[in-house]
Each structure stands twice: as structure tokens, then as C-alpha cells.
Amino acid sequence: MSASSFAELALCPELQFTLKNLGYEQPTPIQSQAIPLVLRGDDLLAEAQTGTGKTASFALPIIEKLSKNPIDGYRPVRALVLAPTRELAIQVADNTLEYGRDLGMRVISVYGGVPVENQIKRLKRGTDILVATPGRLLDLLRQKAISLEKLEYLVLDEADRMLDLGFIDPIQKIMDYAADDRQTLLFTATADESVEVLAEFYLNNPTKIKVTPRNSTAKQIRQFAYQVDYGQKADILSYLITEGKWGQTLVFVRTKKRVDELTQYLCKEGINAAAIHGEKSQRERVRMLNEFIAGDLHVLVATDVAARGLDIESLPYVVNYDLPNQPEAYVHRIGRTGRAGETGEAVSLVAPAEREFLQRIEKLIKQKIKLRPVPRIEDGKRLEIDDFADKPMKRKPAKAKQQKRKKVESYQPDKSKKAIRPSLFNK
């Protein structure tokens, strides 16, 4: 049975006060189930999709337990959260710091892509909770810049993603530095065989919880697709964003080169867009993410590097400009919208060569994705979106394919759409 308020979860008054000030009263299902188990001291294997509130489900009880046993003077690392990406590490650290501020919790994040010297300097002052990516943490451990001998709590966040990225070897080496007598929590979107093996090695008789069916998509996400020619994609996306008055939109593209090409095209069409992928510097990526979250940037074009690192709430639109060849990636991508009870739309542009990918996705999520007709030109102009949204699919006249719509000089999103904002409870 889900708790109706955080007060029912036996959290201390300071945490309840913080949560009330942040505007959150009712825990999500993963929080209702996980928090009491973590407070009880269980190792935990939790399977939950993105957007269900995983960060708070482990951060709140860990802060609660650490606050009951404060340490004077230098603070050794007593809680460690391993995260697969820099973006996720930063966001988990920021949220955890916000939760524990009234209790004086010290939280530091370390990750690659930035100079290590500044991180070492910060670590010398000590920290209660460390959030880290595996590669950078292993470097720091080898340099003896940090110790995990006093570790009491270990969280493997998005464990399936860490395994996908090849972090199993660094994780194994990190475990050699960590104290054996610890409580270990593993959170994953999919508990496949590799995750089960990881849990068997590093968790002690874990309690297993699962709050959403594997590979399911949130009910509040409206999913539909356009069958398009490969060369039509950029033009159609620009038209949908502009004529539909879309609010902030996250667009997933298969390769870095195509990300840059699409971003340049959208900017030429008068749409405020930016690219994010692995070749961007950490400073650029953080700046663009902050602008996107703040609403200063309307369209973010990304590779799958952003599929699980973005902590944003009320994102109205996610676009699969290129369908992923792994259907599981589709679930993670569209999980960026429809969070925290909000509605969202997931749009896919499906070229003929990608129809097999669409079929695999539908088989995985056990539902058909509604097909919509391609915006078409009649009497020399494109039909308005409301004119074609619910009509049956028709083949575009050959002559119409040669016509180009007038370039959009300036794009203004619909201000009535709810702007995204930083999320504290929905990871």
C-alpha cells in the first residue's frame, strides 16, 4: 500500500520540512516501497523505469540514517552513488544536496571531462555523500585522493546503463576499495540477466521490488509516428515544431554528425535549437542543459548520451528523429516526457528502412503506435496540423514532393504549454 504522505515514511522532521518547502507531499510508488526498506537496513534490488522518483527513494533514507550518526571534524565518504553519466551524477548530487541542506549534509560529485585537480581539492575537505562516475572515481582511488574504508551505503544507480556502457570492470575494481560491511542498493530500469549477476555478486540477500512492468511506457505519454521519406525528416520536424507551436522539445538522432546537421537546419529555420553529444565539452553540455531546463532553449538535439541523464519535469515533446535499432532505447528515450503525472507526446519519424525497428518497438511495449499522415501540400500550401492530425494516411501527390514551404523567419513556442522545470523527485 502506498503512503499518502512522506510523514508516514518515518522521516525526520527536518526532511519533512524540506520536502514540504519543495512542494512534495505524496511519495511515488518507488519511494513508498523503497524508503522503508532502506531505513530498515535491507540491501535492495529495485526495478523501476525512469521518471518514477528513484533518486529520492535512496537519497532520503540515506540522509536520514547518516543524520542519526553525525561525525565531528573531517567527514569520510560514508555514502557513495555510482552513476553512468556526468549529467546524471551532477543532477543526483544537486538533488541530494537540496534534500540534506537543513541537516548539514556535505555532497560532492566527481566525473570525467573536467580537470581532476579541482575535484581533489574539494575532496580534501571531506564529504558525507559522494556521487561519481566509475571511471573518474577509480582514478581518484588509485591516486589515493579518496578512501572508501568508512563506506556505509553504496548505490548503483541505473545499473543496466552502466553495464551497457562497459563499466563492469571499473565497478569490480571499485568494490575492492570499498568496505565490506555496507548496505548496497541497486536501481535499474531493466533487471536482465547481467544485472541479476551483478546483484548476486555485490548484494547481500536483497529485497526485490518492481514498480512498473519491464519495458512498459507511461500511460500519460501519447505516442504516434509519421511514415516519411528519409530526406523529408528535417523539413517535417521543422514544420511540426513551428506550426504546432510546440514547447520545449528533445530530439534524438542516431549519430553526432546528423545531430549537428539537423541543429544547423533548425537554426536556419528560425528555431532556437542546440546540439548535445559526446564530442561537446562538459562545460558546453552543462550550459546547454541548464538553458534547456530554464526554458531559454526550445529544442535540444541529442544522441542517446542524453537518454538517461536529463533530470527534467513536464517536458512536453520527445522526438525520435531516427528510430533506435535497439527497442529498449525507445523506452528510455520517451521516458523523458510524461513524468510526475504530467502528459507528454512522443513523436517518431519513420523512414522505410526503419519500419522493422518500429515493429520491434511495438512488440516490446506490447502496443501499436498510432500512425499519422504526413503534413502535405494542397493548393500550394501545407495543411494546418489540426486539418490532418486525425485523417487516415494518404500518399502525397508526386508533384507536392517538389514544393518547399516558406522558410520560418521566427519561431515562438506556445506560452500556454507548461514549461519544464528542474525535478527533485523524478529520476
Based on the fold, state whether residues 128 and 240 are members of the same structural domain. Answer: no
Cβ contacts of 211 within 8 Å, gap of 6 or more = 29, 30, 33, 46, 47, 48, 52
Based on the fold, state whether residues 244 and 203 are members of the same structural domain. Answer: no
Based on the fold, state whether residues 205 and 293 are members of the same structural domain. Answer: no
Which percentage of the chain shows pLDDT scores above 90?
46
End-of-domain residue from the set 210, 239, 271: 210
- Cell matching residue 7: 510523514
DSSP H stretches of helix in 68-203: 86-100, 116-123, 134-142, 159-164, 168-177, 193-202
Distance CA 102, CA 18 (A): 7
In residues, how long is the chain?
427
Total number of domains in the chain: 2
Is 0.95 topped by the overall pTM?
Answer: no
Residue 115: how many other CB atoms lie within 10 Å: 8
Based on the fold, state whether residues 132 and 204 are members of the same structural domain. Answer: yes
Q: Is the pLDDT of residue 276 over 90?
A: no
Cβ contacts of 364 within 8 Å, gap of 6 or more = 215, 327, 328, 330, 331
Is the residue at 51 inside a domain?
A: yes
The percent of the chain in helix, strand and coil, each rounded to the nearest 5, is 40, 15, 45
Based on the fold, state whether residues 205 and 57 are members of the same structural domain. Answer: yes
- Cell matching residue 119: 575535484
Based on the fold, state whether residues 135 and 29 are members of the same structural domain. Answer: yes
Cβ contacts of 96 within 8 Å, gap of 6 or more = 55, 59, 63, 81, 105, 107, 129, 131
End-of-domain residue from the set 162, 185, 210: 210
State residue 104's pLDDT score. Answer: 93
Based on the fold, state whether residues 102 and 237 are members of the same structural domain. Answer: no
**Residue 320: what residue type?**
N
Instruction: For residue 124, give its domain range.
Output: 6-210
- Cell matching residue 293: 531546463
pLDDT tens-digit map of 335-392: 777 665 667 899 999 999 999 999 999 988 888 998 887 766 554 455 544 444 434 3
CATH number of the domain that residue 341 is part of: 3.40.50.300
344-350 and 370-372: which strand pairing?
unpaired
Based on the fold, state whether residues 260 and 345 are members of the same structural domain. Answer: yes
**Residue 235: what residue type?**
D
End-of-domain residue from the set 180, 210, 240: 210
Is the residue at 418 inside a domain?
A: no
Based on the fold, state whether residues 288 and 386 are members of the same structural domain. Answer: yes
pLDDT tens-digit map of 170-181: 999 999 999 999
DSSP element (H, E) containing 29: helix 29-40
Q: Is the pLDDT of residue 146 over 70?
A: yes
Distance CA 312, CA 292 (A): 9
Per-residue DSSP letter, 288: H
Is the separation of the CB atoms in 420 and 313 below 8 Å? yes
Stretch among 127-131, 203-207, 245-249 having the lowest mean pLDDT? 245-249
Distance CA 142, CA 161 (A): 24
Is the residue at 426 inside a domain?
A: no
Work out the average pLDDT over 308-335.
79
Exposure pattern of 259-297 as b/e (b: 16+ CB <10 Å)?
bbebbebbeebebbbbbbbeebeeeebbebbeebbeeeb
Based on the fold, state whether residues 389 and 251 are members of the same structural domain. Answer: yes
